[in-house]
């Protein structure tokens, strides 16, 4: 059988879903083939766009046999190649099942954890919630990058963003380049910031979530909506359980979301964060609480004894050095917030190898119409 080449048209049976949301099958020459837009259980035709030693990627050209749960994308801009959402062709129920599958597969395959306890987390509203967007600007109009391209799709509507953010996105006029658009749904604040950010004060907003008011500077990370922040706080609080009175360590604490909402029941709270603007925001946001803020990366932080560790690292996860710091605290309970299934699988495997047991992983849908996962996992010694 001839080897696969870019431009080849192939027919594929899609067996499963990859961590990034693509359908996965076998190419005629035996390579693993990733097909964007394909769903598990489908038979599709696709055109090869990339060939590597052990895998290849292809673009969907025809659905021979559709999977249950496939639908016509509700947003018309998907047909124009908009890359803002990658799962609009799947119903919301199917999206939820696929996210659980992705997380379970990562815990089993990467973490080597048998029969991991994966559950659905709190459900937030499906669409029209997102309050932050990074957009490309061409000819003064903001838009999303076209899939597999540097071209821009300029939308005249966007179903996943908050109506006030949609107004900025669709009707705003900006200098060409890249722009950050952000609104405070519950405060009425709005910010338009040219990227890269030159002055954090220019793009600073406030938001209400978890029962507190948050200052959020342009370069500071915050959850995609206040509803998402509420849900994460509730899930993390449930994972911590009835532990109180000791020391809580909040790693990658950002602007202080977990330290600020969970810390009241602990005798001491240590918040560890390396991003300068997030630390500055946290000092304002947590000024009324007995929280000690440490400006440090997780890997360089000197571990302290803890009763509970809450860790919300960026997409790359804790990795070996971060897990080593967590283990060195001796905390009986660790709550890990993960935004990438592969890094969750790796971190979970490292924690289990260090003597922790995975008690549960709850999957939240905070980015509707996309393959993005957010997972709150509880580990106990």
Interatomic CA distance for residues 229 and 254, integer angstroms: 12
Interatomic CA distance for residues 160 and 135, integer angstroms: 14
Torsion of the alpha carbons at 281, 283, 287 and 289, rounded to the nearest 10: 100
Q: What is the DSSP letter of 264?
A: G
| Residue whose structure tokens are 């971060």 | 322
Point out which residues pair with 246 in neighbouring strands: none
Known active-site residue 339: yes
Angle, in degrees to the nearest 10, between helices 341-353 and 319-328: 40
Point out which residues pair with 213 in neighbouring strands: 208
Catalytic residue, candidates 75, 82, 158, 339: 339
Nearest to 223 by CA among 199, 246, 191, 256: 256
SS3 of 46, please?
strand
CA distances from 100 to 16, 86, 259, 375 (A): 12, 17, 28, 10
Residues annotated as catalytic are 339
């Amino acid at each position: 059988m001839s080897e696969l080449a870019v431009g080849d048209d192939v027919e594929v049976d899609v067996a499963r879903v990859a961590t990034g949301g693509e359908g996965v099958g076998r190419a005629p020459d035996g390579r693993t083939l990733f097909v964007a837009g394909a769903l598990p259980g489908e038979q599709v035709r696709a055109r090869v766009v990339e060939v590597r030693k052990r895998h290849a990627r292809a673009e969907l050209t025809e659905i021979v046999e559709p999977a249950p749960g496939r639908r016509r994308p509700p947003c018309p801009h998907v047909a124009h190649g908009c890359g803002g959402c990658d799962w609009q062709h799947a119903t919301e129920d199917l999206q939820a099942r696929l996210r659980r599958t992705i997380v379970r597969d990562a815990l089993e395959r990467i973490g080597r954890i048998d029969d991991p306890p994966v559950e659905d987390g709190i459900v937030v509203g499906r669409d029209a919630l997102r309050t932050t967007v990074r957009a490309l600007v061409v000819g003064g109009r903001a838009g999303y990058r076209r899939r597999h391209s540097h071209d821009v799709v300029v939308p005249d509507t966007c179903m996943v963003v908050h109506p006030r953010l949609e107004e900025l996105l669709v009707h705003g006029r900006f200098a060409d380049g890249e722009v950050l658009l952000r609104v405070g749904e519950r405060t009425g604040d709005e910010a338009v910031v040219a990227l890269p950010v030159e002055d954090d004060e220019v793009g600073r907003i406030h938001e209400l979530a978890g029962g507190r008011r948050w200052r959020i500077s342009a370069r500071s990370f915050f959850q995609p909506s206040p509803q998402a922040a509420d849900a994460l706080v509730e899930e993390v609080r449930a994972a911590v359980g009835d532990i109180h009175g000791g020391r809580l360590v909040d790693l990658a604490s950002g602007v202080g979301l977990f330290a600020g909402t969970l810390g009241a029941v602990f005798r001491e709270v240590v918040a560890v964060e390396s991003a300068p603007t997030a630390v500055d925001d946290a000092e304002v946001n947590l000024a009324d609480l007995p929280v000690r803020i440490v400006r440090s990366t997780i890997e360089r932080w000197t571990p302290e004894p803890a009763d509970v560790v809450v860790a919300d690292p960026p997409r790359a996860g804790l990795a070996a050095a971060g897990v080593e710091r967590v283990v060195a605290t001796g905390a009986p309970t660790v709550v890990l917030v993960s935004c990438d299934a592969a890094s969750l699988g790796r971190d979970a495997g490292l924690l289990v190898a260090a003597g922790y047991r995975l008690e549960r992983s709850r999957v939240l849908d905070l980015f509707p119409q996309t393959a993005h996962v957010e997972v709150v996992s509880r580990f106990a010694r």
